[in-house]
Copies of this chain bind each other. A is one copy, B any other.
């Protein structure tokens, strides 16, 4: 067995060592990612969340998995005592693996001994459940269980294995080979033996094995795993799986990935599949495949993505809807789809260097990933709608909910994919912050951070990023180590940041969205400041997004803002709010305010909600203002919604002076 992180030359040569700590480590690409070994987040918006994740969420997840019996499922297999009463869905094994993955990144991030102990504790239970031939699953293949791979459409066996492999990759890249890696290697070999080119023509109903195989293949230097992933990718889209009521688009088995024009069907499935496709395309230099995923990304981002970066418009199939079908109230925007979207975009960025991808990573981090967990890291949103009509019944902490879709974060779900997905993303977040190329260092996400690396010419360099972004827009990069040789510092300027400036040596120069670069012989002590204009701004929807016609939204820096009923004078009156889009939003001490008014309730209540337009006197066209008239409506970051208790909430705000009903105001 090869050691940890043997990678191909370019990375090996430039700091990508065995313990590099990267969630993704492609064989080639425009930029080379820096991992947890190179980058640490020091407090701030994300560092604080990493601490909560480390001290609360990880243990919370393990406790719940013990409580609901998902961990004991492994013991039962080991003991030969499986029965028909197995708790959990068929995919509950994957939650254990995702937790182990999160723990591995946490060890890589902080070296926390409690995390290390938990990894060993969990690995021991997992390893005991592995069959002699490498097969590992607690739901199939043992006494009183369906046969192995008897329900590829919905059984999630390969999906579970994929997450096991990702956990092993995290272990390899942070600590090194151990028993977990050995379990994963044997499981991967079993998959290749069963589903290889000469084996069964099968794929999993839920993509994930592919992304696990590629990364394990990279981490162990085993090409066969990458080949198996490519095989799974190519088999898909030909009706390989049996038909299901929602149609084969649900699991992307309707059209081959090279031919598809957009993402469709179940959002997490579509995105995990695409992440693997980028991996395969990159390592094999397969432009056709890479182009296909880029085309799908462009289409879906332009027409099937929420302002928050959230993806998935439909509850029915947790899926993408049609173009422009983006209802804010019924937005599904599963937290896991946000995580998966980041996986795809980061891979596309590394392959292409196009900062549109890292823009979407940032948007999704702040408005989907950051939204899910509660402040204490012990409750989570599963769905992330942009409009909550009525405050949820307060059920926080009341135990297991089917899914947390109703405006209250829940401690645990029956389908509890999101907490561990958030945990592994937060623990590995430093891996998405910066890259290098032959000429220098690029920083893509802004947070207080320490970054140390070595350029290909052997030059060591280190910078310290100081900022309270996104509260304010000043990003200060202090050079703390360097040889005095020239190199290029590149800083992402988000697409929204028109008017940004780069300040260095007492000079301030305007920079445009994209990458701002500065090439010079930096000296220790140099400070380069990127000034991003995080003043609040109004955004409007494409006219084809019917569900939010006539509305505007307020954004501030990377954060989407929202109005919550907590901040309205009349209590729960979110439905009667209307704002004046002609008065720019104001930012006073970090609280953004817009000019708004509330409608007085109709008296008497209308008994039919579709009056004749012609009967409406002009005076009645606009909302009849309440006694209070215009007032300043405070907005809060969307990610903080429902933290002060159940609320009604909306991101898209109806704007005044709409003449849509046929009269002037």
Residues of B within 8 Å of A322, CB to CB, are 329, 389-390
Residues of B within 8 Å of A246, CB to CB, are 402
The 8 Å CB contact of A541, one of B245, B610, B655, is B610
Residues of B within 8 Å of A547, CB to CB, are 327, 546-547
**Distance from A579 Cβ to chain B, minimum over Cβ atoms (Å):** 11
Q: A620-643 CB contact bits vs B (8 Å, 1 = yes)?
A: 000100000000000000000000
What's the Cα separation between A548 and B614 when bound, in Å?
18
Residue of B nearest to A622 (CB): B543
From DSSP, what is the main secondary structure of chain A's interface residues? loop
Residue of B nearest to A552 (CB): B613
What's the Cα separation between A323 and B575 when bound, in Å?
10
Q: A320-338 CB contact bits vs B (8 Å, 1 = yes)?
A: 0111110111100000000
Chain A residues 579-603 with CB under 8 Å of chain B are 581-582, 584, 599
Q: A50-79 CB contact bits vs B (8 Å, 1 = yes)?
A: 000000000000000000000000000000
Residue of B nearest to A363 (CB): B608
B549 touching A662, Cβ below 8 Å:
no
- Bin chain A's interface residue count: 35 or more
**Is A495 positioned at the interface, with any CB of B under 8 Å from its CB?**
yes
**Is A36 positioned at the interface, with any CB of B under 8 Å from its CB?**
no
Residue of B nearest to A299 (CB): B605
Chain A residues 291-338 with CB under 8 Å of chain B are 298, 301-303, 305, 307, 314-316, 321-325, 327-330
**Is A570 positioned at the interface, with any CB of B under 8 Å from its CB?**
no
What's the Cα separation between A9 and B549 when bound, in Å?
57
Residues of B within 8 Å of A654, CB to CB, are 543, 546, 549, 660
Residue of B nearest to A305 (CB): B609
B330 touching A330, Cβ below 8 Å:
yes
What's the Cα separation between A356 and B505 when bound, in Å?
76
What's the Cα separation between A303 and B609 when bound, in Å?
7
**Distance from A617 Cβ to chain B, minimum over Cβ atoms (Å):** 13
Residues of B within 8 Å of A611, CB to CB, are 539-540, 542
- A residues bordering B, Cβ < 8 Å? 245-246, 298, 301-303, 305, 307, 314-316, 321-325, 327-330, 356, 387, 389-390, 402, 414, 495-496, 498, 537-553, 575-576, 581-582, 584, 599, 605-616, 623, 652, 654-662
4 closest A-B pairs by CB = A550-B660, A542-B609, A550-B550, A538-B613
Chosen A-B contacts, 7 in total, with CB atoms closer than 8 Å, are A324-B389, A540-B616, A544-B576, A545-B609, A549-B551, A550-B660, A655-B661
